[in-house]
Structure 1
Amino acid sequence: MSCVFEFGPFRLCPTTRVLQQHDGDVALGSRAFDILVALVESNGNVLTRRELMAIAWPGLVVEESNVRVQVANLRKVLGCGRDGARYIASIAGRGYCFAAPVQRTATADEPPAANARGAVQPQKPLPHLPAPLERALGREESVEELSRLLPVHRLITVAGAAGAGKTTLAVLVAHAAESFGDSIHFIDLSIVTSEDRVLEAVATAIGYMPSGPVELAGLIDVLSTRRTLLVLDNCEHLIGAVADLCVHTLEHTGTVHFLNTSREALRLADEHVYLLRPLGSPPGTGRLTAEQALAWPAVQLFVDRAREGGALEPLSDEDAPTVAAICRRLDGNPLAIGLVASRVGAYGIQGVSDLLASQFALLWQGRRDAIPRHQSVEALIAWSHDLLPQRDRIVLYRLSVFAGAFPLESAIHVIADDNVGGLQAGEAICDLVDKSLIVASSIDGETHVRLLETTRAYAVAKLATTGDAGEVASRHARYYAEQLREYSLHGSVNRTGGERPRSPDIGNVRVAMDWCFAARHDVNLGVEMSRHAASLFLEHSLLNECKRCCERALAAMPEHLRSTDVEMSLLESLAVTCYIMGDYDGEMTAIVEKGLATSIALDDVRATFRFLAGLHLAMMSNGRFPESLLVSERYASLAAARGGPREAIVAAWMSGSSNHYTGRQLEADESFARGTRLVAEHGVRQLVYFEMKEQVIAIASMARVKWVRGFPLQALEVARRIVDDSRRHPDSLYISVVLCFPIFLQNKLDNLAELLIQELAAVANEYKMGTRLPMGHYLKGHLLLHRGRPDEAAMHLRQCLEMLRPPKLTVIRSDALQAFAESLRQLGDGAGALDAINEAIGLAEQTGGVVNLADMLRAKAEVMRIVPGTRQTQIEQVLSQAMACAKSQGALEWEMSVALAMAEGKAAQGRRKEAKGMLESVYSRFTEGFDTGVRKATAKALEGL
């Protein structure tokens, strides 16, 4: 038994983890969802913050502020305070409770009046009705609603698309209509070919056989003798005659009710239209297990029909998202789902999904005992198509160039021409909506229309036979090219002060660009569209798509567009995409260098600044630190000559970061201080992508400089600020967390560090896809080593090192090698630890990324202590090198750790006074953070001396 909760405009389904508002899914994080379910299920009782922490963060110790943040997000999503709405109340000193009335609906495997598969069971067999379908999944609510409406409304029309299950529903409702006794008659009008035969069909069904032709008056006399329900099935091709029958019968009798099915309404005054919606399909968001997918009727139907078609394997978690996508693509249409699923036994789920992309699926044959129009998807649609006038057919064909839902205004603009004017096109679209061939909806107050996927495939095939396909596709492409131009000009930054243009529909932008490049229909237009679309894809975090878009356009670019601002724009978007995805090595560097050369040739100094920043980031990420310093100097020189305050600030950031990683901490500190002064004086705004990343890296590096120089509390303050600020973008969050992670550990905030690891794991897969797995192991390894679990730490660090190969992120690799060496040292593997730390030192010296060199040398000395045959003089020599390196860098943190290691050796030799004096000379230079990291260890050592 499970429950569904309804409150206000919301419907909460804990089993499927879905929150809906007005039948639309509401995006909600997993922890916020868990807290909402707990509050709703508490029946108004107060839940303490600790109870909510245990529910949302099981097994973890988190700060209470996390609960407040999640509750604040929930209140925002639910609209608390809007129009007086109040859902979550704060109880001072206690916690939170759910304050709104909640309606709880129990759902069971066997609902009342239904068998185990959800089919309504008749009380007794009715001679004039077909047998009800045994498994009418997902239609229980519709049966109940129509059963309540039937006694109230004498004329009900169940309207819906072809294959939606209108007949099945009508039969189920008729069997459940006990008040009509056995005076219920089913008339299948699909076999009636002309309107003048409708009366004859009804007369035959009720057993009225006059000596001459059937007259309406005589038929009405017979019907008026008792309470009767007439089920007129498939009325769409006989609308006029059916409407005439209903009007006169209702007017001259008080006991006859009609339950009709049709692909369009009769449009009569007394008619109640019941729109039959598609079967519910899982939304295309988040991960989906087989159990979650099977909670949706469309998936249940798919699995049932697949099993009947010979598929033996149960639905797996791996296949569940594919099946859900198929059901969505088929618009939850029961007949189409059944026809496609019946082929799973032969082709497999993935094979069926692949074939569905072609028009071949239209021709798949269904059950041979089904009526002809239900034996294939093509026949199903052809039944409605053949009833259309020529104008509506042309409009239907032309609409097939669109993808998904699209504004009515866009549709008319593209399909109208000299033969079908704009007014005619609009009228035809309305007629197609009435006939359930296309779906209309309101999005942000604007009317959108959409072809069902199967109808679109059918119309595409028809359009290809008319000779208009190329011209319509060209108009569609030109229309969306203009939308992209307008959005590129005014969308990202509204320069006019007016209303920001609507973002062009990405689905139709894709279709338009594909047509341009296919068979080289219009490559010039395709390249131009790609230039603007790349920015749109980046704005919507469609990284893989942006990469493919840029690469295709650059490969197909005509010669006259090369070395122009068009090529330069595509190169910049591609370089940005590579960086976001973590693809730092050769490809990104080559792209940035080509864009830089183009910008210099065009004398586009603003673009030159952007590409220099990108080149600097590429050098840093690929472990080419001395070269990154040269790039920063080149940027600073250009900024002084042709830049302004913004460029001077970015130059200071770049210089500070490069100096930090090359071990020049004093110079880095000076650069960051200069940048901070400039920001305070001039402010900083309108940064583009690479400049924003320079800012993130600079602030995180500023925190690291303060840490290395012996100011852990100042470092922590800056680290917290940059991580909080970076949450606005997953890419920046990745950078800031990785760079600031040691600062959190040194300040004993390992619980916060663990939460940050979990936060990064929830970031979309596209972000840092080239480094996300090794970075996950890197962070977990450091955390576990900090917590005194060297065996688990070594496992994660080993996996990080296997994945993270040079030249990518060499500072991270050398740091991981040092941590790996320390974990092996603690496990007693001196030889393995020595190999690892020597590799780390060699990598740092090779790349110039010597920011941790002093600490690495200190770590090497610690490892050498457990390596058999090592002389004390050798250890002291390495420690002396470490101390000299720390002093030359101005790295007080490393000086202290090296002094601690040296003091340990002196004390072991009985030179305790000398050891104590050395420690005191370094320790006395600290001004803060005495309860953190190496300072606390030093204080303890001094007490022992």
Structure 2
Amino acid sequence: MRPVAQARDVVSFGSFSLVVSERLLTRDGEPVELGARTLDTLIALLSRPNEVVSKKDLLAWVWPDVTVEEGSLRFHIAGLRKALGDGTDGARYIATVAGRGYCFVAPISRSGPDNQNTAAAPSFPYSNLPSRLMRMVGRDNDLLRLSTQLSASRFVTIVGAGGVGKTTVAVAVGHHLIEAFAGAVLFVDLGMLGDPELAATAVASMLGLSVQSNDAAPALIAYLRDKRLLLMLDTCEHLIEAVAALASQIFTAAPQVHILATSREALQVEGEHVYRLDSLACPPDDPTLTAAVAQTFPAPQLFMERAAASGARLDYSDAEAAIVVSICRKLDGVALAIELAARRVDAYGLQQTAALLDQRLTLLWLGPRTAPPRQRTLHAMLDWSYGLLSEPERVVLRRLAVFVGHFTLDAALAVVSSATIDQPLVFGAIDSLVAKSMVATRPLGAMMRYLLLDTTRAYALEISLDEAEFADLAVRHATYYRRWLEQSGIEWPTLSTGAQRAPHFAGLNNVRSALEWCFGANGNAEVGVGLAVAAAPVFLAMSLLPECHRWSERALGALDAAARGGLDEMRLQADLGVSLMFMRGGRDAAHLALNRSFAIAEQRGDGLDQLRLLGPLNMFHLRIGEFKTALYYARRCSDIAATVEDPAAKTLAHSILGISLHLNGDLSGARAELEAAVLRGPDVQRTTTIYLGFEGRILAGAILARTLWLQGHPVQAAERARLTVKYAAEMDHSLTLCIALIWAITVFLWIGDIEAAEEHIDWLVSRSESHSMAPYVAAGRAFKADLAIRRGDAKGGVEGLEGALEKLHAMPYELLTTSLNASLAQGLGAAGRFAEGLALIDETIALVDTNGDVKYTPELLRVKGALLLSMPEPKTGEAETCFMQSLDLSRRQGARGWELRTAIDLAALLAAQRRRERARAILSPVFAQFVEGSDTSDLKAAKRLLAALG
């Protein structure tokens, strides 16, 4: 581990300052007393801020000459957290990373004789910068000035004419500063977007974030709030209002995020510094100009380099220099225009290129050269360049404009080819267009991608196509991307990072564009329905729930009478129902859509169709707390799965039946089904994500962990819970991870591992907040309130739990209601509100009898008995009855976890009544059933009580 500071360097965080050389920690200038080992622990963590420091490294740092147990480290970490007030009033300094170590997560700054104040904040090791040019002509000063200004002011917009080189310079700045941002540079090309409402979605998707609402901005800002990175927003002008608002919010809310934007006009928001990127400098109009002087100006330099790179051979005499300078001035020093002109020299020669350029520009410039906006200069250049193309090249260029962003050669051949222009001709035309710089190339992933620059695409779209020709083109475009979705759909759930998503993201923009046309005024709704059927499950798998909902709804509205009751309606209703379920909860609209879809599936009689609907229907009823109904759908799913030869369907059936049996108290049946899904299931790649919106096998693993604990295997339960969370984290699918975390937390709470529970609760809240998953935020808050009750803060815990339950009921999300009600009843009892606690327990028992979730009934009876005993006038007879009922039911369920808890409470009651033999007779055989987990809280309590009983 490296030293945290030298000389009298000061490390500051929050209201604290640490002078390492003096081993002095102060808070608001006042010394903070810390033991030597505790201070060494702090210094070690500060040596690697925002990194996980392993327990092994910490032990080696703090105890370099002796061997100690991890318990000593935990003791000093706890003391350090207490001294810093970690967790008080929202302060966060030290995070525990389960199974790995500890991390200092608060922003810090260092100051000293050799340091300027520099802030460090949590970041992410990710960069998707395009490759920079081998040599950038004439922009060295711009590069340095922009880098300095961006570092100082945090928010800079490069403003200039189209084609002037804004993106080129921005990319160069990103590469120049990439080390300063520890590799955290995110490049977002907004040129491929047409809908301003998707600006925040585009950034979030590139970060691999789940989008769960129509407005992705709050989730994006929550995610960026504590990140240090350089965010590059390229080509903003067509989305100016939306990008301006988004950039302003990020700048204000995320103090470690630096923003570099490119646009033809300023965003005009607070905090923005505008950097105007002028055209490349040209020599003055001087008849005596020499080639040597001309070469000192960047515009002629760029022209000559690009002409030579294209194969042109120029002597570059004074006469040729004058022609080159004339061309550069006519093009106003616009880099893109110069490059395109230079590439024509090999074909036409220098003088003819200049002559053609003069003719075309003369036709377009009706006034002085300085009068028209710079965009007209670029338009003139593009118009001239278009005029140099052959007729097949012109047709191909116009048709390529249908693509948004990158496209593959396969896509181009499929979409552009027609009866009048075959694939070989298209292939040759694209090759020529690439050579003439009308089509750009860029490797993306393992495949070369093609791209019309935004200015070129805009120009091509202005050239009107015959209405019938355009309709045929748009239909081929939509049809191609429907086929692409159907072929690549299985891959979508496996994509987690922006780098993996980038190739698919460009395709998804083309899908959106095609859907907009299909359902537009002059579109083809029939083609649009087919495309929406293919697109909706992909939007669902990528957690883009609003878009899944939007296009499913639009397509359903466009179905004609003949299509009602068919396969397309069945699939669209299913995707609509699932997206509504996760977005809005909603008992009515989501239920209606899912039921309609299932009715069609039953009518069609296809087993696989019914299976795909039974999973979402099961999950819907689980989420609203109707556990018996959910079990009905799970059993139907299992019955049908047995009749089909589809391993993925069988795994789905095992998963949802195991979950439903668990919640309904059949633990042995649940374990068999869950193990079939998790341990013996086929190696299928996340198929349930397409149908459920999350990976069902991960949920099955988490519920298996709970089942193991209930059956009396606490060590196996903890191992399975941690393993399931690990698998979910590796998927990096936020909805799946949050589901895994929720159920793993319940296992850690049952075992009594409060530290592990707290770590995972913090993880759950952080991930769900940054991805706008409101039910899981509320669940995390509820778990925090439960911890407060366990730690003795009954008043605060009860208030927090009541508020969280109110939010969960409103959504509705009732999966945790029974267990949280039990915790709330215990908190009410601890606060002296016994009548309210007993009323809540009785109400919950009645609810369980009606809806299911009967696995909790033994625990509810135990909690009721404990409340009866803790009253000012204990009702021991009623309490003993509750305990005996709990014991009987837990034995019938095979729930040894509940049985042990109840046996402890009943034995303690009997011991207090001097019925020691009876107490020992009840507790001892229950305790003897456990062969693992002797260090868990319940088993330690049982062991202490048995010892006291003699």
Corresponding residue for 2:404? 403
Q: Tell me, in whole angstroms, the C-alpha distance in 1 between the residues paired with 2:153 and 2:645.
A: 74
The 8 Å contact of residues 862 and 886 in structure 2, kept in 1 or not, is answered as yes
Matches within 5 A, 1:393-472: 398-407=399-408, 410-411=411-412, 414=415, 439-444=440-445, 446-453=447-454, 456-457=457-458, 459-460=460-461, 462-463=462-463, 466=464, 468=466, 471-472=469-470
Corresponding residue for 1:843? 847
Q: 2:474 aligns with which of 473, 476, 484?
A: 476
Q: Tell me, in whole angstroms, the C-alpha distance in 2 between the residues paired with 1:524 and 1:817.
A: 50
Corresponding residue for 1:295? none
Note the aligned Cα RMSD (angstroms).
Answer: 5.6
Q: Could you say if the C-alpha distance between residues 169 and 768 of structure 1 is closer, same or farther in structure 2, counting changes exceeding 3 Å?
A: closer
Corresponding residue for 1:938? 942
Q: Tell me, in whole angstroms, the C-alpha distance in 2 between the residues paired with 1:684 and 1:453.
A: 43
Q: Tell me, in whole angstroms, the C-alpha distance in 1 between the residues paired with 2:345 and 2:465.
A: 44
Q: Tell me, in whole angstroms, the C-alpha distance in 1 between the residues paired with 2:673 and 2:507.
A: 44
Give 1:557 shift.
Answer: 1.4
For residues 240-287 of structure 1, the C-alpha deviation after alignment (integer angstroms, 9 at most, x for no partner) is 9xx9x996762689999979534123548999xxxxxxxxxxxxxxxx
Q: 2:611 aligns with which of 609, 612, 616?
A: 609
> If the length of structure 2 is used for normalisation, what is the TM-score?
0.60
Give 1:610 shift.
Answer: 2.7
Q: Could you say if the C-alpha distance between residues 393 and 762 of structure 1 is closer, same or farther in structure 2, counting changes exceeding 3 Å?
A: farther
The 8 Å contact of residues 585 and 813 in structure 2, kept in 1 or not, is answered as no
Matches within 5 A, 1:560-709: 560-578=562-580, 583=585, 585-639=587-641, 653-664=655-666, 668-673=667-672, 676=675, 685=684, 688-689=687-688, 695-709=697-711
Q: 2:278 aligns with which of 152, 161, 168?
A: 168
Mean Cα deviation higher: 46-55 or 603-612: 46-55
1:264 equivalent to 2:338? Answer yes
Q: What letter matches 2:622 in structure 1?
A: M
Q: Tell me, in whole angstroms, the C-alpha distance in 2 between the residues paired with 1:754 and 1:580.
A: 26
The 8 Å contact of residues 822 and 859 in structure 1, kept in 2 or not, is answered as yes
Q: Could you say if the C-alpha distance between residues 446 and 787 of structure 1 is closer, same or farther in structure 2, counting changes exceeding 3 Å?
A: same
Q: Could you say if the C-alpha distance between residues 436 and 659 of structure 1 is closer, same or farther in structure 2, counting changes exceeding 3 Å?
A: closer
The 8 Å contact of residues 876 and 902 in structure 1, kept in 2 or not, is answered as yes
Fraction of identical pairs, as percent: 24
Give 1:604 shift.
Answer: 0.9
For residues 119-160 of structure 1, the C-alpha deviation after alignment (integer angstroms, 9 at most, x for no partner) is 9xxxxxxxxxxxxx9x99979989x99xxxxxxxxxxxxxx9
Q: What letter matches 1:754 in structure 2?
A: E
Larger Rg: 1
The 8 Å contact of residues 583 and 770 in structure 1, kept in 2 or not, is answered as no
Q: Structure 2 unaligned runs (5+)?
A: 1-43, 63-72, 81-91, 106-122, 129-142, 157-163, 177-234, 236-261, 266-274, 347-366, 493-502
Corresponding residue for 2:803? 799
Give 1:625 shift.
Answer: 1.8
Give 1:515 shift.
Answer: 0.4
The 8 Å contact of residues 634 and 653 in structure 2, kept in 1 or not, is answered as yes
The 8 Å contact of residues 746 and 932 in structure 1, kept in 2 or not, is answered as no
The 8 Å contact of residues 857 and 882 in structure 1, kept in 2 or not, is answered as yes
Give 1:753 shift.
Answer: 2.8
The 8 Å contact of residues 568 and 599 in structure 1, kept in 2 or not, is answered as yes
Partner of 2:94, secondary structure, is: coil
For residues 802-861 of structure 1, the C-alpha deviation after alignment (integer angstroms, 9 at most, x for no partner) is 211178443401211221232333344435444543443343233222211221222233
Give 1:507 shift.
Answer: 0.9
1:824 equivalent to 2:828? Answer yes
For residues 869-908 of structure 1, the C-alpha deviation after alignment (integer angstroms, 9 at most, x for no partner) is 6644444444444344334433232233223333444444
Q: Tell me, in whole angstroms, the C-alpha distance in 1 between the residues paired with 2:301 and 2:371.
A: 14
Equivalences, count: 688
Corresponding residue for 2:381? 384
Q: What letter matches 2:442 in structure 1?
A: S
Corresponding residue for 1:284? none
The 8 Å contact of residues 627 and 663 in structure 2, kept in 1 or not, is answered as yes
Q: Tell me, in whole angstroms, the C-alpha distance in 1 between the residues paired with 2:811 and 2:147.
A: 61
For residues 31-69 of structure 1, the C-alpha deviation after alignment (integer angstroms, 9 at most, x for no partner) is xxx99995999xxxx9879889999x951344564699x
The 8 Å contact of residues 162 and 381 in structure 1, kept in 2 or not, is answered as no
Partner of 1:401, secondary structure, is: coil
Matches within 5 A, 1:844-863: 844-863=848-867
Q: What letter matches 1:443 in structure 2?
A: L
Give 1:767 shift.
Answer: 6.9
Partner of 1:607, secondary structure, is: helix
Q: Tell me, in whole angstroms, the C-alpha distance in 2 between the residues paired with 1:561 and 1:36.
A: 64
Matches within 5 A, 1:12-91: 58-62=93-97, 65=100
Q: Could you say if the C-alpha distance between residues 651 and 791 of structure 1 is closer, same or farther in structure 2, counting changes exceeding 3 Å?
A: same
Q: Tell me, in whole angstroms, the C-alpha distance in 2 between the residues paired with 1:470 and 1:941.
A: 86
> If the length of structure 1 is used for normalisation, what is the TM-score?
0.60
Q: 1:740 aligns with which of 744, 751, 754?
A: 744
Q: Tell me, in whole angstroms, the C-alpha distance in 2 between the residues paired with 1:612 and 1:931.
A: 41
The 8 Å contact of residues 858 and 886 in structure 2, kept in 1 or not, is answered as yes
Higher relative contact order by CA 8 Å / sep ≥ 6: 1 or 2? 2
Corresponding residue for 2:372? 373
The 8 Å contact of residues 300 and 325 in structure 2, kept in 1 or not, is answered as no
Give 1:759 shift.
Answer: 3.7
For residues 462-499 of structure 1, the C-alpha deviation after alignment (integer angstroms, 9 at most, x for no partner) is 24xx35356325413323413432552476389xxxxx
The 8 Å contact of residues 817 and 839 in structure 1, kept in 2 or not, is answered as no
Partner of 2:442, secondary structure, is: strand
Give 1:663 shift.
Answer: 2.6
Partner of 2:95, secondary structure, is: coil
Q: Tell me, in whole angstroms, the C-alpha distance in 2 between the residues paired with 1:458 and 1:859.
A: 73
Q: What letter matches 1:450 in structure 2?
A: L
Q: Could you say if the C-alpha distance between residues 253 and 670 of structure 1 is closer, same or farther in structure 2, counting changes exceeding 3 Å?
A: closer
The 8 Å contact of residues 653 and 672 in structure 1, kept in 2 or not, is answered as no
Q: Structure 1 unaligned runs (5+)?
A: 1-33, 80-105, 120-132, 146-159, 172-184, 188-200, 207-218, 272-367, 495-501
Q: Tell me, in whole angstroms, the C-alpha distance in 2 between the residues paired with 1:455 and 1:809.
A: 50
Q: Tell me, in whole angstroms, the C-alpha distance in 1 between the residues paired with 2:652 and 2:294.
A: 84
Q: Tell me, in whole angstroms, the C-alpha distance in 1 between the residues paired with 2:524 and 2:770.
A: 30
The 8 Å contact of residues 786 and 797 in structure 2, kept in 1 or not, is answered as yes
Q: Could you say if the C-alpha distance between residues 893 and 253 of structure 1 is closer, same or farther in structure 2, counting changes exceeding 3 Å?
A: closer
Matches within 5 A, 1:877-888: 877-888=881-892
Q: Tell me, in whole angstroms, the C-alpha distance in 2 between the residues paired with 1:254 and 1:516.
A: 52
1:529 equivalent to 2:531? Answer yes
Q: Tell me, in whole angstroms, the C-alpha distance in 2 between the residues paired with 1:674 and 1:227.
A: 79
Q: Could you say if the C-alpha distance between residues 162 and 246 of structure 1 is closer, same or farther in structure 2, counting changes exceeding 3 Å?
A: farther
Corresponding residue for 1:103? none
Matches within 5 A, 1:852-931: 852-868=856-872, 871-931=875-935
For residues 518-540 of structure 1, the C-alpha deviation after alignment (integer angstroms, 9 at most, x for no partner) is 12621111111111222433444
Q: Tell me, in whole angstroms, the C-alpha distance in 2 between the residues paired with 1:534 and 1:36.
A: 47
Q: Tell me, in whole angstroms, the C-alpha distance in 2 between the residues paired with 1:628 and 1:936.
A: 37
Q: Could you say if the C-alpha distance between residues 765 and 586 of structure 1 is closer, same or farther in structure 2, counting changes exceeding 3 Å?
A: farther
Mean Cα deviation higher: 518-527 or 745-754: 745-754
Q: What letter matches 2:474 in structure 1?
A: H
Partner of 1:60, secondary structure, is: strand
Mean Cα deviation higher: 720-729 or 505-514: 720-729
For residues 589-648 of structure 1, the C-alpha deviation after alignment (integer angstroms, 9 at most, x for no partner) is 333332222222222112223322332232222222222333333344445566688767
Corresponding residue for 1:492? 490
Q: Could you say if the C-alpha distance between residues 703 and 371 of structure 1 is closer, same or farther in structure 2, counting changes exceeding 3 Å?
A: same
Partner of 2:451, secondary structure, is: strand
Partner of 1:592, secondary structure, is: helix
Q: Could you say if the C-alpha distance between residues 670 and 170 of structure 1 is closer, same or farther in structure 2, counting changes exceeding 3 Å?
A: closer
The 8 Å contact of residues 584 and 621 in structure 1, kept in 2 or not, is answered as no
